[in-house]
Amino acid sequence: MNTREGNELLANPEVVKGIGQKIDNHGSDEDNSPTLRVSYCDHIWSNLAGYRIFNIELSVRMGALHEVVWSLSGFELAGFDLTGEEFHLISRLVYEKFGINLGEQKRMLVIERLQKELRRGGFSSFKEYYDHVTQDTTGQALLTMIDRISTNHTFFFREKDHFDLLTAEILPKILQKLPGAGQNLRFWSAGCSSGEEPYTLAMTINEYLGPKINIIGVDILATDISVTALAKASRGVYADTETAQISSGLKNRYFMKSGDGTWAVKQSLKKMILFRRLNLMRQTYPFKNKFHVIFCRNVMIYFDVPTRTALLERFCACLEPGGYLFLGHSESLGRSSELLKYIKPAVYQKVVRG
Ligand SMILES: C[S@@+](CC[C@H](N)C(=O)[O-])C[C@H]1O[C@@H](n2cnc3c(N)ncnc32)[C@H](O)[C@@H]1O
pLDDT at position 338 is 83
Burial class (CB in 10 A: 0-12, 13-18, 19+), 194: buried
Among protein residues, the one whose CA lies closest to atom 13 of ligand 1? 191
CA–CA separation, 125 vs 203, rounded Å? 47
- Give the pLDDT score at 352: 84
Return the pLDDT at 313: 93
What are the per-10-residue average pLDDT scores of the chain (354 residues)?
44 44 40 54 47 62 68 65 95 97 93 93 95 97 96 97 98 87 87 98 97 91 97 98 97 96 97 98 95 97 93 95 95 75 94 80
Measured in Å, residue 142 CA sits from the centre of ligand 1 at 16
Three-state SS at 201: helix
Q: Which residues pair with 277 in a beta bridge?
A: 224
- Residue 301 domain boundaries: 161-350
Cα of 95 vs centre of ligand 1, distance in Å, is 14
Helix (H) or strand (E) holding 341: strand 340-344
| Shortest-distance atom of ligand 1 to CA 159 | 8
89 in the same domain as 46: no
Asked if residue 204 lies in contact with residue 227, where contact means CB atoms within 8 angstroms, the answer is no
Q: Which of 98, 193, 221, 278 to mutate to test the pocket of ligand 1 (most atoms within 8 A of CB)?
A: 193
Residue 155: inside a domain = no
**Candidates 37, 61, 186, 224; catalytic one:** 224
Query: Coil, strand or helix: which one is 188?
Result: strand
Q: 149, 173, 200: which is the final residue of a domain?
A: 149
Q: Is 224 a catalytic residue?
A: yes
**What per-residue confidence (pLDDT) applies to 58?**
67
**pLDDT reported for residue 179:** 72
Q: How far apart are alpha carbons 332 and 192 in whole angstroms?
A: 18
Of the candidates 113, 119, 253, 314, the residue annotated as catalytic is 113
Same domain membership, residue 124 and residue 41? no
User: Which of 142, 150, 197, 304 has most ligand 1 atoms within 8 Å of CB, for mutation?
Assistant: 150
* Bridge partner list, 347: 326, 344
Residue ID of nearest Cα to ligand 1 atom 12: 191
pLDDT at 78: 58
What are the phi and psi torsion angles at 223 (to 5°)? -130, 155
Question: Counting Cβ atoms within 10 Å, is residue 200 exposed (0-12), middle (13-18) or buried (19+)?
Answer: buried
Instruction: With respect to residue 89, please indicate whether it lies within any of the assigned structural domains.
Output: yes
The verdict on 99 and 239 lying in the same domain is: no
Contact status, residue 340 vs residue 312, Cβ threshold 8 Å: yes
Domain boundary among 77, 106, 139: 77
Q: What is the pLDDT of residue 214?
A: 86
User: How far does the centroid of ligand 1 lie from the alpha carbon of residue 27, in Å?
Assistant: 60
How far apart, in whole angstroms, are the C-alpha atoms of residue 325 and residue 219? Answer: 16
3-state helix, strand, coil in the chain (%, to 5): 40, 25, 30
Q: Which atom of ligand 1 is nearest to the CA of 158?
A: 9
| pLDDT score recorded for residue 7 | 47
Please answer whether residues 38 and 6 qualify as being in contact, where contact means their C-beta atoms are separated by less than 8 angstroms.
yes
Burial of residue 49 (CB within 10 Å: 0-12, 13-18, 19+) is: middle
In terms of pTM, does the model score above 0.85? Answer: no
Q: Is 276 a catalytic residue?
A: no
Looking at residue 300, its pLDDT comes to: 96
206 and 69, same structural domain? no
Same domain, 219 and 261: yes
How many angstroms separate the CA atoms of 285 and 302, rounded? 20
Same domain membership, residue 193 and residue 331: yes
Shared-domain flag, residues 201 and 295: yes
Output the ligand 1 site: residues, CB below 6 A.
Answer: 98-100, 150-154, 158, 191-193, 197, 224-226, 229, 279-281, 297-299, 302, 328
Per-residue model confidence (pLDDT) at position 2: 41
